[in-house]
Amino acid sequence: MDKRTLGNSKLAVSAIGLGCMGMSFSYGQPADKQEMIALIRTAFERGVTFFDTAEVYGPYTNEELVGAAVAPFRDQVVIATKFGFAPAQAGEPRWSGLDSRPEHIKQAIEGSLTRLKVDTIDLLYQHRVDPNVPIEDVAGTVKELIQAGKVKHFGLSEAGVQTIRRAHAVQPVTALQSEYSLWWRKPEEAVLPTCAELGIGFVPYSPLGRGFLTGAINANTTFDQSDFRNSLPRFTPEARQANQALVDLLSRVAAQKQATPAQIALAWLLAQQPWIVPIPGTTKLTRLEENIGAAAVELTPDDLREIESAAAQITVQGARYSEQSERTTGR
């Protein structure tokens, strides 16, 4: 697979990465660990060199999974993980809110290094902006970790433009990870232009709309009781029915390109900027191969204009998060 460079950092990664969250967290019951280790290793064999995890996924178990899976080829891949959530106290929910205090960051990183079985974290994101801690303090702490050799690159997730600028002034930001896809395009308004200006790579999570843009989900789909999509306004049956128009658009283009809707959705992201690297997640080999295949799908300027024109006629229904899940999840 072709490589892409995240901004001005010279951090080269596969054009499509692998988001590992769903292997342990959020989308129903955790998958079998040995099967997921095999899947991650297959991804590497197919050319994927960019693997995304976080301490909150599981919690903790996803970092352990990724660490075990990539151990045989650690020096040939880039591992991204995240800090920023406070572990729950006795009697509280599993995670008790945000915590990016410098002392907590340093504590969290020691845990991540141990679970990942690595000496250095390639890309370390602040998982969510903590309104109680100046971003300069966060960036300064990561800068210290970089100087200490424990971290190589600094990233932010779901940060706004002013936060990005303030952090970047203290420690250059290599990548911003935020949701971006054909059904969530808000980053185009200000965040992507800022990334272009400052030389910051962009890593879209949920590039397939949490599975919706694959065409495998419709208004009648039911999710496992523990699947957090049950709590998302965009996944009510009514919203799914209304948003089917977007899947229909992808399906039409896919038929022309002898591809799948998912591949068109990923190819569209890749065509937006050469420094965009989506990280679709999956627990299935067939989906992994499908996603990787998107890197070979070429959308012409005419294709992109057709998609843009049709998408402009579609109003996506439903908020992407409920207020509760925005506060309490790592996604």
Q: Is residue 100 part of a domain?
A: yes
Q: How far is CA 45 from CA 39, 42, 75, 153, 227, in A?
A: 10, 5, 14, 25, 30
The pTM score is 0.95
Q: Is residue 305 part of a domain?
A: no
* Predicted local distance difference test score (pLDDT) of residue 91: 62
* Predicted local distance difference test score (pLDDT) of residue 93: 60
Q: Is residue 218 part of a domain?
A: no
Q: Is residue 141 part of a domain?
A: yes
| Residue 55: pLDDT over 60 | yes
292 Cβ contact list (under 8 Å, min separation 6) = 1, 16, 43, 46, 47, 48
| Residue 326: pLDDT over 70 | no
Enclosing domain of residue 15:
3-211+269-297
323 Cβ contact list (under 8 Å, min separation 6) = none
Q: Is residue 181 part of a domain?
A: yes
The region of weakest confidence among 147-156, 168-177, 237-246 is 237-246
The region of weakest confidence among 48-57, 169-178, 228-237 is 228-237
Q: How far apart are CA 321 and CA 325, in angstroms?
A: 6
Q: Is residue 238 part of a domain?
A: no
Structural domain total, the chain: 1
Q: Is residue 245 part of a domain?
A: no
Average pLDDT over residues 278-303: 97
pLDDT over 90 percentage in the chain: 87
Residue positions annotated with a catalytic role: 57
CB 330 within 8 A of CB 97: no
Task: Look at 130 and 89; give whichever has higher pLDDT.
Answer: 130
Give the helix ranges, DSSP H, for 83-198: 102-116, 135-147, 161-170, 191-198
Q: Is residue 119 part of a domain?
A: yes
pLDDT over 70 percentage in the chain: 95
| Residue 273: pLDDT over 70 | yes
Confidence of residue 331 (pLDDT cuts 50, 70, 90): very low
| Residue 237: pLDDT over 80 | yes
| Residue 329: pLDDT over 70 | no
Average pLDDT over residues 145-174: 98
Domain harbouring 158, CATH code: 3.20.20.100
Q: How far apart are CA 61 and CA 30, in angstroms?
A: 10
* Predicted local distance difference test score (pLDDT) of residue 25: 85
* Predicted local distance difference test score (pLDDT) of residue 328: 45
**Mean pLDDT rounded to a whole number for the chain:** 94
* Predicted local distance difference test score (pLDDT) of residue 28: 77
Q: Tell me the per-residue pLDDT of 187-203, one tens digit each, with 9 for 90 and over.
A: 999 999 999 999 999 99
